[in-house]
């Protein structure tokens, strides 16, 4: 049994005539008759009572007509859905992101535009640090991610730079009630710092430590936390200072002052990364929207 058998049968049943069915299908009348007979032989059942007045469905034919129409509707819906998936307008897309990148700037705009363009795509957004995103991209768990890359990127990955931030000192507001804001890192040499554990992102951790050591100010860490959100909450409590991404200015935390230091600069390039071999059409659709937003922002 093939789909054409179902189409010929449904057309004949709806018209009550092989002749009219053949005209609708733009094929010969003998072809329709032969295919319906083949269908009846395959089913081992008579679907029509034939008379000079035309065709009349048997009880088996009435049941089969209902099922056949549902099957054809399902096939048509599957074709439409497959077409939309091929265009990247439906399906699933899993993206990682560093939380501070979503507070403002280009990324929120990209996500909004994509949801407008492809509302039927199931967009899974996972807040992860950069190193975890890279690991999940390499394992195939993520389709793409928004990271701040430090160290080498595997050659199997493609990247697109979106925006550049820098680092700032996050200080408890209470400290600045006692003195003016610092201008250089050396002015914080005797202060305690909140840092993240090295294993979270070794490449960035080591780079930050080297830069601070080059200025003669090793960061005296008294407490660690795994995310910038947690680090800033500890700074708010007055436990210590921290060196954080300037993107946090988009959501200025309570009881904290973010201060640019004249001699401390670590450019942080927000970058979209994905496997070059990823075949997901939704990813291609997302890339097109993202590239268009990047051009519009220039």
Banded model confidence at residue 280, pLDDT cuts 50, 70, 90: very high
Residue that finishes a domain, picked among 86, 115, 132:
86
Q: Pick the closest to residue 144 from 293, 26, 289 (CA basis).
A: 289
Looking at the fold, whether 37 and 102 belong to one and the same domain comes out as: no
pLDDT score for 253 = 81
| Count of domains forming the chain | 3
Looking at the fold, whether 26 and 64 belong to one and the same domain comes out as: yes
pLDDT one-digit tens code per residue, 98-151? 998 998 889 999 999 999 999 999 999 999 999 999 999 999 999 999 999 988
Residue with tokens 């160290």: 151
Residue that finishes a domain, picked among 27, 52, 86:
86
pLDDT score for 104 = 87
Looking at the fold, whether 215 and 78 belong to one and the same domain comes out as: no
pLDDT score for 251 = 85
**Burial of 163: CB neighbours in 10 Å, binned 0-12, 13-18, 19+:** middle
pLDDT score for 136 = 96
Banded model confidence at residue 224, pLDDT cuts 50, 70, 90: very high
Of the candidate ranges 49-53, 228-232, 247-251, the one whose mean pLDDT is the lowest: 49-53
Looking at the fold, whether 290 and 142 belong to one and the same domain comes out as: yes
- CATH code of the domain containing 64: 1.10.10.10
Answer whether residue 206 shows pLDDT above 90: yes
Written as one string, the DSSP assignment of 183-221 is SSGGGGTTS-EEE--GGG-HHHHHHHHHHHHHTT----E
Answer whether residue 24 shows pLDDT above 80: yes
For residues 114 and 297, which has the higher predicted lDDT (pLDDT)?
A: 114
68: containing domain: 3-86
Answer whether residue 298 shows pLDDT above 80: no
Looking at the fold, whether 160 and 274 belong to one and the same domain comes out as: yes
- Collect contacts of 186-192 with beta carbons under 8 A, ≥24 apart: 186/215, 186/216, 186/217, 186/263, 188/217, 188/241, 189/216, 189/217, 191/220, 191/240, 191/241, 192/220, 192/221, 192/222, 192/223, 192/239, 192/240, 192/241
Please provide the average confidence, as pLDDT, over all residues in the chain: 93
pLDDT score for 52 = 80
Distance CA 13, CA 150 (A): 67
* pTM, two decimal places: 0.80
Looking at the fold, whether 240 and 211 belong to one and the same domain comes out as: yes
Looking at the fold, whether 241 and 277 belong to one and the same domain comes out as: no
Looking at the fold, whether 13 and 50 belong to one and the same domain comes out as: yes
pLDDT score for 110 = 96
Banded model confidence at residue 192, pLDDT cuts 50, 70, 90: very high
Answer whether residue 54 shows pLDDT above 90: no
- CATH code of the domain containing 214: 3.40.190.10
Answer whether residue 177 shows pLDDT above 90: no
pLDDT score for 208 = 95
Residue that finishes a domain, picked among 35, 67, 86:
86
Looking at the fold, whether 143 and 281 belong to one and the same domain comes out as: yes
Looking at the fold, whether 212 and 76 belong to one and the same domain comes out as: no
Looking at the fold, whether 79 and 214 belong to one and the same domain comes out as: no
- CA distances to 157, 272, 277 from 137, rounded to whole Å, are 9, 11, 11
Taking residues 264-289, what's their average pLDDT? 96
Pairing outcome for strands 54-57 and 48-51:
antiparallel
Looking at the fold, whether 156 and 288 belong to one and the same domain comes out as: yes
């Amino acid at each position: 049994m093939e789909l054409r058998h179902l189409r010929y049968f449904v057309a004949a049943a709806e018209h009550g005539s092989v002749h009219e069915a053949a005209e609708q299908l733009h094929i010969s009348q003998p072809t329709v008759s032969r295919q319906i007979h083949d269908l009846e032989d395959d089913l081992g059942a008579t679907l029509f009572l034939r008379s000079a007045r035309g065709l009349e469905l048997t009880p088996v034919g009435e049941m089969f007509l209902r099922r056949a129409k549902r099957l054809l509707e399902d096939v048509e819906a599957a074709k439409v859905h497959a077409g939309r998936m091929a265009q990247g307008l439906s399906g699933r897309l899993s993206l990682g992101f560093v939380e501070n990148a979503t507070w403002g700037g280009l990324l929120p705009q990209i996500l909004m535009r994509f949801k407008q363009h492809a509302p039927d795509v199931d967009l899974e957004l996972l807040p992860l640090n950069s190193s975890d995103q890279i690991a999940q991209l390499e394992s195939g768990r993520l389709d793409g991610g928004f990271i701040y890359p430090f160290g080498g990127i595997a050659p199997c990955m493609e990247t697109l730079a979106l925006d550049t931030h820098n680092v700032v000192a996050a200080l408890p507001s209470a400290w600045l009630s006692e003195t003016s804001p610092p201008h250089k890192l050396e002015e914080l040499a005797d202060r305690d710092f909140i840092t993240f554990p090295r294993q979270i992102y070794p490449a960035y951790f080591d780079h930050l430590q080297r830069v601070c050591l080059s200025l003669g100010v090793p960061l005296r860490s008294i407490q660690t936390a795994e995310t910038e959100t947690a680090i800033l909450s500890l700074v708010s409590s007055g436990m210590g200072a921290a060196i954080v991404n300037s993107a946090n200015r988009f959501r200025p935390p309570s009881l904290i002052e973010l201060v640019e230091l004249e001699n401390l600069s670590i450019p942080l390039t927000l970058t979209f990364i994905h496997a070059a071999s990823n075949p997901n059409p939704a990813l291609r659709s997302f890339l097109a929207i993202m590239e268009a937003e990047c051009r519009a922002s220039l």
